Amino acid sequence: MMRKWLRFGSVFLAALAADLLTKQWALGRLEPGRTIEPLGAILPLTLSFNRGAAFSLGAGDHSRVIFILLSIAACIWLLVYHHQTPRDARVRGVALPFIVAGAAGNLVDRVRWDRGVVDFLGPYDLGFMDWPIFNVADIWITCGAIALTLALWREDRHPRVDSGAEHP
């Protein structure tokens, strides 16, 4: 069980540090609303603040408090889920700390000021729409959720044989 939590902590801390450091960089180097393209259209950078959730979906005047509480609840639930995850479920064991790190990174922004979450990657012109501006935490949440979904789908298609050993 210790190895499972050590892996969780290592992935979590690295992912959270990457998110917080890139946001700090964006705050120090970018101007709000002004897009720069250091690598052309491959990497547009625009500093913005998102008070809502994904795609700027909000909950009115109380968005900050609601999203703080939802983030805390989600992190707690994911930690409990990780604790219940079998130690040999390695994809889940890596996907979950990425999701928690992303949620925690955005939670830090919501707690420290009322401007909202720091976003700076994008917007991306997809030809039919501009993909909204996002951050590294959003990447962790998305990739972690996709990996978790695929792992659960695979586990559902190929159930494990229970050897009677303790799972956590």
User: What letter represents residue 94's amino acid?
Assistant: V
User: What letter represents residue 61's amino acid?
Assistant: D
Catalytic residue among 88, 109, 114, 138: 138
Q: Is 119 a catalytic residue?
A: yes
- How far is Cα 92 from Cα 155, in angstroms, rounded to an integer? 10
Assess whether the previous peptide bond of 123 is cis (omega < 30° from 0): yes
Yes or no: say if 47 and 120 are a contact pair by the CB < 8 Å rule: yes
- How far is Cα 39 from Cα 35, in angstroms, rounded to an integer? 12
Residues in the chain: 168
Per-residue tokens: 120: 């700076």
Catalytic residue among 119, 125, 156, 162: 119
Q: In Å, how far from its chain's centre is CA 153? A: 21
Write out the DSSP string of 102-144: HHHHHHHHHHH-SS-EEEEE--EE-SSSEEPPB-HHHHHHHHH
Q: What residues are labeled active site?
A: 119, 138
